[in-house]
Homo-oligomer: A and B are copies of this chain.
Amino acid sequence: MSLGLGVIGCGSVFAGPYRAMIGRLRAAGRVHVSAVYDVDRVKRHGAAAHFDIDRDLRGPEDVIAAADVVLVLTSMNEHGPLARAALEAGRHVLVEKPMATSLLDAAELLELADAGPGLLVCAPHTLLSPTFRAVHAAVRAGEVGDLLTARARYGWSGPWWNDWFYGPGGGSLFDLGVYNVTSLCALFGPAQRVTAMVGVAIPEREVNGRLIGVEADDNAHVLLDFGEARFAVVTTGFTMQRYRSPAIEVYGSEGTAQLLGDDWAPEGWELWRNADGAWRVFPESDPHWQWTEGLRHLVECVETGRPTVTRPEHAYHALEVMLAAQAAGRDGVARGLDSDFPDPVYDSEWVDLDAERRAHDRRSHDGL
């Protein structure tokens, strides 16, 4: 019997790749959409019509009541409360980034997920991509020796379709930098200290044809201290028109590994080992990989009872990093960090399942 999905928030994040991913899972008979809600009537009705379901639910609580798995795709301030409500109701939850806007709210989600029956999967889902997994595996296998230093970058010229990116709670660090922070911590382990420079480099922008004042950071560099003088930098911003450089570079005592493209859209990876005296350039193995893969993963874990690869504790840590970076950006003082998270475990059953999926997707792409 297929899982009933409930979608809260039917804006661009939903209408984009999530809807496509839902479509694929539906086609495979694994899910159906049982409820949708958006405060915007037009969006709500559009989504309901698309799935041919009740278009007049009164609120998120109706979605939670009607679903096995709840997708929280609203604006950021509501992420925490909605995820909480869904977990309290015993539902499985996928929540977009950030999982909450305060550490306190985020901590509650961790506790609820820990205590209750519902699984909690937090975006970003980039740790699931085959290319990131290959980099992680190489690093864990010691291919580059001990990690010593790293760089990551993700930026672009910035969204023009919605001004919330530039208002309180928005900003490039939360919207973009979160990917790099998540990836680097997955490779190095939890950060212990952070400092940053964060600010507004372009004070006015045209959004939807209207000039607006920018209040949230659009330019940021974050330094991470992983202990024992092992450091990394995240460069992010709505201040980069185009780049031609690796997304993630990790430098170890015996070599270098780097992920190309962007961490949410990898284009292969590269490995230098001193012992080889050559770069190994791995072409992208899954060019159709989507950053909404976390939904499929959650569905799989619900189906099989297996634990999720991505852990809410990891998302919590990334949140602590970003809040501390913002604080350091304001007063120039580095912050210690308290939280911890377990190293991602890619169990072989899941890896096999995913390899199968990729083979199947290739056929789908060619054949349908």
Chain A: residues with CB nearer than 8 A to chain B? 12, 15-17, 19-20, 23, 144, 148-149, 151, 153, 155, 157, 193, 195-197, 199-202, 217-221, 223, 225, 228-233, 235, 237, 239-246, 249, 251-256, 258, 270-272, 274, 276-283, 332-334, 366-368
Contacts and interface: CB of A to CB of B under 8 A. Distances in A.
A154 to B, nearest CB: 12
Contact of A246 (B245, B279, B366): B245
Contacts of A16: 366-367
Given A239-B149, A366-B17, A244 B279 contact: yes
A175 B324 CA distance: 31
A202 B149 CA distance: 11
Nearest to A195: B195
Contacts of A228: 199, 201
A219 B231 contact: yes
Contacts of A279: 242, 244, 279-281, 283
B231 A199 contact: yes
Contact of A201 (B144, B149, B153, B243): B149
B280 A242 contact: no
A155 B153 CA distance: 18
Contacts of A12: 366
Interface centre among A220, A229, A281, A367 (most CB of B within 10 A): A229
Given A195-B332, A333-B333, A254 B241 contact: yes
A278 B277 contact: no
Contact of A219 (B148, B219, B242): B148
Given A148-B239, A241-B256, 9 more contacts: A15-B368, A16-B366, A20-B368, A151-B153, A193-B197, A195-B195, A195-B223, A242-B272, A278-B282
Given A231-B219, A258-B245, A148 B202 contact: yes
Contact of A334 (B195, B202, B239, B271): B195
A219 B270 contact: no
A333 to B, nearest CB: 5
Contacts of A366: 12, 15-17
Nearest to A238: B148
A17 B253 CA distance: 29
Contacts of A235: 149, 151, 233
Contact of A242 (B223, B237, B256): B256
A244 B246 contact: yes
A19 B368 contact: yes
Nearest to A268: B278
